[in-house]
């Protein structure tokens, strides 16, 4: 364990502000991991809070259902896409928060128009590997560049790596169930990271998921 820690205990990170400005600085791995894991835990904990905001905390989850929450980092807006099978009927719903003039938040629920073959839409969603995508922290090692630079600091062998961090943007929390197979995960700014790391399979799959939703329902637009 000590050897693995030493091997990755030094990072050179590039922080993207609004995906344009860049600041380069040095950090220890422990601090770096803390920032990511703390934000991951915070977002997961907020899901119950989001359900309360959308007034769906008691909404049952069906055997064939997907819910995709979207949260912007720089605003209080929250929305959620829901597609599920109720007996033999498919139902699509869209929830969003709307700010009123007196600064209160109201929830707007809309029924989505489904195509003549909604089960095909479900198949397209499943085909993006949504049932198998891992949690965000599991792909962190893919979101970095190995500089192949090695050195010794305070008696420890170190390696330099570069990582781009998107500070603000859009976060997604996904919950899906298909019969006995279930999955839950959250991705932070997946499309922004995909532009930086275009060969990461999980980001590619998530982009495909968003493309299906945009094509079929005309939302989750950029």
Per DSSP, the residues of the chain read: -HHHHHHT-EEEEEEEETTTEEEEEEEEHHHHHHHHHHHHHHHHHHHHHHHHHTT-TT----SEEEEEEEEETTS--EEEEEEEEETTEEEEEEEEEEE-TTS-EEEEEEEPPP-S-HHHHHHHHHTTTTTTPPPGGGGGGGSSEEEEEEEEETTEEEEEEEEEEE-SSEEEEEEEEETTEEEEEEEESHHHHHHHSTT-HHHHHHHHHHHHHHHHHS-S--
Contacts of 205 (CB under 8 A, 6+ apart): 128, 129, 130, 133
Distance, CA of 209 to CA of 197 (rounded, Å): 17
State residue 198's pLDDT score: 96
State residue 44's pLDDT score: 54
Residue-by-residue pLDDT tens, the chain, 222 positions: 333 333 333 444 444 433 333 333 333 444 444 444 444 455 456 678 888 889 998 899 999 999 999 998 777 789 999 999 999 899 999 999 987 777 778 899 999 999 899 999 999 999 999 999 999 999 999 998 888 888 898 888 888 888 888 888 899 999 999 999 999 999 999 999 999 999 999 999 999 999 999 999 987 775
Distance, CA of 197 to CA of 208 (rounded, Å): 15
- For 5, 31, 79, 81, the CA distances from 93, given in Å and listed in that order, are 46, 40, 11, 6
Write phi, then psi, for 56 (nearest 5 degrees): -130, 20
Q: What is the pTM of this model?
A: 0.77
């Amino acid at each position: 364990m000590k050897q693995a820690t030493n091997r990755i205990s030094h990072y050179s990170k590039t922080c993207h502000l609004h995906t344009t400005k860049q600041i380069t600085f040095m950090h220890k791995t422990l601090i770096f991991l803390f920032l990511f894991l703390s934000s991951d835990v915070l977002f997961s904990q907020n899901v119950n809070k989001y359900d309360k905001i959308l007034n769906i905390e008691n909404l049952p989850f069906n055997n064939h259902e997907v819910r995709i929450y979207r949260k912007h980092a720089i605003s209080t807006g929250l929305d959620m896409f829901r597609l599920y099978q109720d007996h033999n009927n498919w139902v699509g719903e869209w929830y969003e928060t709307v700010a009123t003039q007196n600064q209160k938040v109201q929830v707007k629920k809309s029924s989505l128009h489904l195509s003549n073959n909604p089960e095909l839409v479900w198949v397209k969603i499943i085909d993006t590997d949504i049932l198998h995508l891992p949690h965000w922290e599991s792909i962190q090692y893919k979101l970095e560049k190995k500089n192949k630079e090695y050195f010794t600091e305070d008696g420890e062998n170190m390696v330099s790596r570069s990582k781009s961090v998107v500070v603000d943007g859009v976060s997604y929390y996904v919950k899906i169930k298909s019969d006995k197979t279930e999955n839950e995960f959250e991705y932070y700014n997946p499309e922004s990271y995909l532009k930086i790391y275009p060969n990461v399979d999980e980001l590619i799959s998530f982009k495909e998921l968003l493309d299906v939703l945009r094509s079929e329902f005309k939302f989750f637009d950029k």
